[in-house]
Homo-oligomer: A and B are copies of this chain.
Amino acid sequence: MADLPSLWTHEPHRVLAFKPGDRVSDIDTHATPGFDGSKADAPALQAERNERFAQLQEMLYANGRAGDTRSVLLVLQGMDTAGKGGIVEHVVGAGSPMGIRYTSFGVPTAEERAHHYLWRIRNALPGPGLVGVFDRSHYEDVLVVRVRNLVPPDVWGARYDEINAFERELTEAGTTIVKVAMFVSLEEQKQRLAERLERPDKYWKYNPGDVDERALWPAYQEAYQAVLDKTSTEWAPWHVVPCDRKWYSRLAVTELLIETLKSLDLSWPPADFDVEAEKKRLAAS
């Protein structure tokens, strides 16, 4: 924990880890697990930790350029307004565009529907040295697809094992997967949607379909419970992040990324050339 700011009393990747038996209905979306600070502490701390993330992300990128095939994949799932976009902008955005590969997964296109549901996912995986970000992901295929009955139960029912096998394959190929389930309360969601309706600069984020989804909240809670129960594996565990306080969720995901990058035990790649000889050649050029 040497690198963890003192306002964290518990390591985020531990305190936020989904544990067998945890219930989605018990999540306190307003809580700030493991964090002993307040909103007033957040801006300075976030800026400092963004810097730390950026350093580690650059080091991962440098290693990728030097032949290391490892990568990191951040998977963001959550109901509308949970704050996925804010994580992308204020957390991942601290890295360099050079080393970040962002993909948003919306309603599948005709081309995507003509393929296996993992096809578009495979096409968006981060290459060596990159931090991939999935804004929604293959989990939509056991969330909205399940809740909306878009395929028969035996079809979506078979996907949990398939997803686990897929993620194991990714992990074995050198991708560390960071899965973040973002939970906001039904009431907080209402306030955030209302804000989008009050501000013309937010209209573009509003979709009338979001209100329809609210009526299906219990079914979504159940579908999220199944995701956490069935796909929180040793190689790709889920983290449950309370998101009613945006400042907390951003700090928390930042620490999850930092912890993940640190676990790769990176250092600057050594020179693959003779440094002293190059100095002479350069001086003579």
Report the separation of the CA atoms of residues A200 and B267 in the bound assembly, to the nearest whole angstrom. 10
A200 touches B285 (CB 8 A): no
B204 touches A62 (CB 8 A): yes
Among the 9-residue stretches A7-15, A18-26, A87-95, the one with 4 or more Cβ atoms under 8 Å from chain B is: A87-95
Most-contacted residue by chain B among A201, A215, A269 (CB, 10 A): A201
A120 CB to nearest chain B CB (Å): 15
**With an 8 A cutoff between CB atoms, is A194 at the interface?**
yes
**With an 8 A cutoff between CB atoms, is A268 at the interface?**
yes
Known: A203-B268, A204-B268, A268-B203. A133 touches B285 (CB 8 A): no
A79 CB to nearest chain B CB (Å): 13
Most-contacted residue by chain B among A85, A197, A200, A268 (CB, 10 A): A197
Most-contacted residue by chain B among A89, A204, A205, A211 (CB, 10 A): A204
B211 touches A278 (CB 8 A): yes
**With an 8 A cutoff between CB atoms, is A104 at the interface?**
yes
Report the separation of the CA atoms of residues A17 and B102 in the bound assembly, to the nearest whole angstrom. 33
Report the separation of the CA atoms of residues A271 and B205 in the bound assembly, to the nearest whole angstrom. 10
Interface size class of A (residues with CB under 8 A): 35 or more
Within 8 A of B (CB), among A248-285: 268-271, 273, 275, 278-279, 281-283, 285
Most-contacted residue by chain B among A65, A85, A96, A283 (CB, 10 A): A96
Known: A97-B88, A97-B133, A285-B215. A278 touches B102 (CB 8 A): no
Point out the residues of chain B lying under 8 angstroms from A190, CB to CB.
Answer: 282, 285
Report the separation of the CA atoms of residues A273 and B209 in the bound assembly, to the nearest whole angstrom. 11
Task: Give 7 closest A-B pairs by Cβ, nearest first.
Answer: A62-B204, A97-B102, A203-B271, A89-B96, A214-B285, A201-B268, A211-B281
17 contacts across the A-B interface (CB closer than 8 A) = A62-B201, A62-B204, A65-B204, A93-B96, A98-B135, A100-B102, A190-B282, A190-B285, A197-B278, A203-B270, A206-B271, A206-B273, A206-B278, A208-B278, A211-B278, A211-B282, A214-B285
